[in-house]
Amino acid sequence: MFRAIKRSFTEAIRGMIKNGLMTVTSLFVVSACIFVFGVFLMLILNINFMTDEMADSYEVNVYIERSVQIEDDTVSVFINRDTAADEETYQATVNSIQTQIIGVENVDVSNIVFVSEADVIAGFKNSLGESAISTYTEIQPGFVGDCFRIKLNDYVKAEETFEIIGAIENVASVMKADEVYQRLALLGNVSTDFNDTKYQEVKEKLKNDILAIDNISPESLEFVKGEDIVKEFKKDLTDDELKIFEGLPDDFMHDAYNVRLKDLSRADETIEQLKALENVDTVENTRELVEIIENLKNSVQTVSIWVIVVFAIVSLFIISNTIKLTVHNRRKEINIMKYVGATDSYIRGPFIMEGIMVGLVSAVLAFFISMWSYQGLVSAIIANGSSMAFAFDIMDFSLMWKDLAIAYVCVGVLIGAFGSFISVRRYLHV
Amino acid sequence: MITFENVSKIYDNGYGALKGVSFHIDKGEFVFLVGSSAAGKSTIIKLMMKEESATGGNIVINDIDVNALKHREIPYFRRTLGVVFQDFRLLPNKNVQENVAYAMEIVGASNKEIRKNVPVVLSQVGLSSKAKMYPNQLSGGEQQRVAIARAIVNNPVVLVADEPTGNLDPETALEIMTIMEEINKRGTTVVMATHAERIVNDMKKRVIVVEHGIITRDENEGGYGYVQSN
C-alpha cells in the first residue's frame, strides 16, 4: 500500500516535470479558479461573521405596559359649555351637535348616548380600585363637561372620523375611553398605573409569556428599568440635546424586557408574537438591518454557488487536459504495463496522483494569494479610515484561515482527482 | 493447456478475421503460428492475450475460460502469459535491469524477490554484463533478449511471441530462437507467430498455418510450406 502510494507519487512528479509548461499553466489556471472560489468563500465567511455578530448584538426590547387598560371602544365627544349664554342656547347647541354627529359617516347611529358631566365623573369613580380611591380628590364640576358617548362602525378610520367630529362647532374634544380615563385620573389625582402588586403580576406573566416563545433565547432575557434606559440614553447626549428632556420625569420610559433571538431569519414572526402578548406596550428592534443582511447573505450565496460551479468546471477541464497529455506521453509505457498484467488501479494511480498534486499545489498557491490580497485589502480599508462606514467589523484573517485552508485543500484534491479520473477513463483504455 | 474450439472473430468494422478456428496445444509444446499478413495470426495472439474478445467459440488457456473473464480479472490472467513483440517495447528511460524488474514490480513482487530473480533471467538470456545499459545502447537482438527476460521473469506458463525475429537479421534471429528453445525445454509452452520461413523449416516444430481466417494445415515437425504462394 505504502509502496503503491510512493510509486504513484514519484511517477506523478515525473509526469509533472515532463509536462513542464502544461503543468505550470494548469497550476496557474487552477489556482486562479480556486482563488475566485476563495473570494466568494471569504465573502460568505464575512457575511456569516456579520450575521453572527449581529445575532449577538441584536436585541428586541419589549416595553411593559404599566397603565391600567381600558377595555372600552366608546368615543366621548365633549361639549363646550362656556359659549352658551343660557340653558336654552346650550340645549340648542347639544341638539345641533347630536344632529351633526348623526350625519357623520362611520358613526354607529344606533349607539349615541348623552352623558352628563356628573355621570361621567360618577362612572369614573366607580371604576376605581381601592388603592386609587384613597388618593381621589373630588373633581370640580365644569372641568369635564357633558358628552356624547358614541361608537364607530369602522375603527380603522377612527382618526379621520375624530377630525370630522372635532371640527363641529362647540365640540370641545373627542377622546377614546382610555384618554378620558387618563384625563379624569389627572383631574382626580388618581394614578393610572398598576399598583405594585398588580404590576409585579403583570411583569411576571409577561416574562413567562415571552419565554414560552420558542425563538427566544431564554438565558438572554433581561429586565431593564425605564429610568435606566433613560439614563443610558442621556449618557451619550450633549448638553444641548439634553435640554429636550427637561421637565420629563426620570422614568418616562416604560420598563422593558430585552431578549435575543435564536434564529434571526425568523425575527419577523417572533416580533409579531411578542407584540400580540398581553400588557406589551411597544416592541422595538432593528429589523430593517436584519432584513438587509439576510437578503445580502442570500444573494451572495446564490451568486457564489454559480460562480463556484463555473470555476470548478473550468478547473476540471484544465486538469483533465493536463492529465490527458501525460496519458498521451506515456501511452507506450501504459501499453507495456497492460501486457505484463498491471491492474487498472496500478496504471491509473500515478495519473490520479498527478491530478491530486496539481490540485493540491494550486490550492497552496491560491491560499497564499488569498492571504496576501485579503490582508492587503483589510489594511487598505483600515488605512483609509473607511472601516467606520461599515456597521460591522471585517473578519480578521486569523479567524478564517483554517476554514479557508481546509476548503482549498478539499476543493483542490477533489477537482484534481476527479479531473484526472475523467481523463484516465476517456483516454486510458485499459 | 491452450484450446481453441471453433473460434470466430468479427471486428466491429465487419471484417471477419477468424472463421471457426480449432486447435489444441499441450503443455510444454513449441508451436509456430504461420500465415501471410492479415491471415489471422495476430488475431489469434490478441484473443490469447484477451486484448480482443472472440465473437464465437470457446478459448480455454491454462484451465481458464478466456471468453468468460471479467474486465478486472484480465490483468491476473495476463500474468500467466509472457509476451514478446516484434518491436521489443522496452522503456527507454530504464536500464536493462530496471526494465525486467518493472514487470515484477507491477505484479507486486517484493524487493527481495526482484533482487533474486532479475539476475537469474538476465543470465538466461545472456545479458548479465549489460544489466546497467539503456535500451538505446543495445543492438536489436540484445533488446529483444531483454524483452524475453521481461516476459519470463514472472514464470509464465505460456510464452507468446508475435514475430519476435521480424526486425532482426537472420543470425541474430537464430540466437533469439535458441533462447526461446531453451525456455521451452524448461517447460514453458511457446506459441510464436512468424514469417521467418527458414526458422520454421530448420526447427522442425509443430506448425499451424492460418489462411483467410481458417486453419489450413496443422502438423508436427512441419515446414513453412507454400504459404507465400498467393
pLDDT of residue B226: 54
- Cβ distance A322 to A358 under 8 Å? yes
Total structural domains within chain A: 3
**Which amino acid does the sequence have at A20?**
G
Residue whose C-alpha cell reads 352628563 in the numeric block: A116
**CATH number of residue A202's parent domain:** 3.30.70.3040
- Three cell numbers, residue B183: 525456455
Q: From the CA of B76, how many Å to the nearest CA of chain A?
A: 6
Q: Are A275 and A147 members of one domain?
A: no
Interface probe for A, chosen from B42, B80, B89, B150 (most Cβ of A below 10 Å), is B89
Evaluate whether residue B61 is within a structural domain.
no
Nearest residue in A to B91, CA atom: A333
SS3 A269: helix
Q: From the CA of A410, how many Å to the nearest CA of chain B?
A: 30
Contacts 24+ apart (CB under 8 A), A50-55: A50/A293, A50/A392, A51/A264, A51/A293, A51/A294, A51/A297, A53/A392, A53/A393, A54/A264, A54/A289, A54/A290, A54/A293, A54/A392, A55/A260, A55/A261, A55/A264
Q: Are A268 and A345 members of one domain?
A: no
Total structural domains within chain B: 1
Q: Are A421 and A300 members of one domain?
A: yes
Judged by a CB distance cut-off of 8 A, whether residue B49 touches chain A is yes
- Cβ distance A75 to A176 under 8 Å? yes
**Pairing label, strands B56-61, B2-10:** antiparallel
**Which amino acid does the sequence have at A60?**
V
Q: Do B105 and A7 touch (CB under 8 A)?
A: yes
Q: Do B89 and A342 touch (CB under 8 A)?
A: no
Q: Do B75 and A333 touch (CB under 8 A)?
A: no
Domain around A204: 60-66+194-285
Q: Are A17 and A34 members of one domain?
A: yes
B75 or A328: whose pLDDT is higher?
B75
The residues, any chain, with a CB within 8 Å of residue A48's CB and separated by 6 or more, are A297
Q: Are A18 and A97 members of one domain?
A: no
Evaluate whether residue B106 is within a structural domain.
yes
Q: Are A300 and A422 members of one domain?
A: yes
Q: Are A220 and A97 members of one domain?
A: no
Nearest residue in B to A335, CA atom: B89
pLDDT of residue B8: 94
Nearest residue in A to B155, CA atom: A340
Evaluate whether residue B105 is within a structural domain.
yes
Backbone angles phi, psi at B134, to 5 degrees: -95, 155
Indicate whether A419 pLDDT > 50. yes
pLDDT digits 0-9 by tens, A65-96: 877 767 778 889 998 887 777 888 888 888 88
pLDDT digits 0-9 by tens, A186-215: 888 877 777 777 788 888 888 888 888 888
Chain B CB contacts of A341 below 8 Å: 75-79, 106-107, 154
Evaluate whether residue B229 is within a structural domain.
no
Q: Are A155 and A274 members of one domain?
A: no
Domain around B108: 89-140+148-155
Q: Are A152 and A275 members of one domain?
A: no
B18 DSSP β-pair partners: B9
The interface predicted TM-score of the complex, written ipTM, equals 0.82
Which residues 83-102 of chain B have a CB within 8 Å of chain A? 83, 89, 91, 102
Of the pLDDT bands very low, low, confident and very high (cuts 50, 70, 90), residue A226 is confident
Interface probe for B, chosen from A333, A338, A340, A343 (most Cβ of B below 10 Å), is A340
Q: Are A302 and A420 members of one domain?
A: yes
Backbone angles phi, psi at A302, to 5 degrees: -60, -50
Chain B CB contacts of A337 below 8 Å: 106
pLDDT of residue A287: 65
Of residues A336, A341, A343, nearest to B91 (C-beta): A336
What are A's interface residues with B at a Cβ cutoff of 8 A? 7, 332-333, 335-344, 346
- pTM of the predicted protein model: 0.59
Q: From the CA of B73, how many Å to the nearest CA of chain A?
A: 9
Indicate whether B230 pLDDT > 60. no
**Pairing label, strands A147-150, A171-176:** unpaired
Of the pLDDT bands very low, low, confident and very high (cuts 50, 70, 90), residue A329 is confident
Indicate whether A427 pLDDT > 80. no
